[in-house]
Amino acid sequence: MFELTEEQVARFGLTWGLALLIGLMLFIIWDLARKSGAGRLGTFILFFVLAFGVFGFLAKSVIKWLMDM
């Protein structure tokens, strides 16, 4: 019916599924900061430390893209 290949499904899942997962993780960090009453500095520290893995993953993707150019 849709005639999608396995590669197209995997690319769609990786692109949109991972973006949704990252968005969910950032929402969880924001909710944690709000419920704990962390304040501005505490919220910044939470985002910096807990989202560091996300930034590393994005940096890896950008570096791979730049090396393929």
**Where along the chain do its domains lie?**
9-68
**Does position 2 have pLDDT exceeding 80, yes or no?**
no
Say whether pLDDT at 19 is over 80: yes
- pLDDT band at 1, cuts 50/70/90? low
The verdict on pTM exceeding 0.85 is no
| Calpha distance 19→24 (Å, rounded) | 9
Among 54, 66, 53, 68, residue whose Cα is nearest residue 19: 54
Amino acid occupying residue 6: E
Taking residues 8-12, report their average pLDDT. 88
Which phi and psi angles does 15 have, rounded to 5°?
A: -70, -60
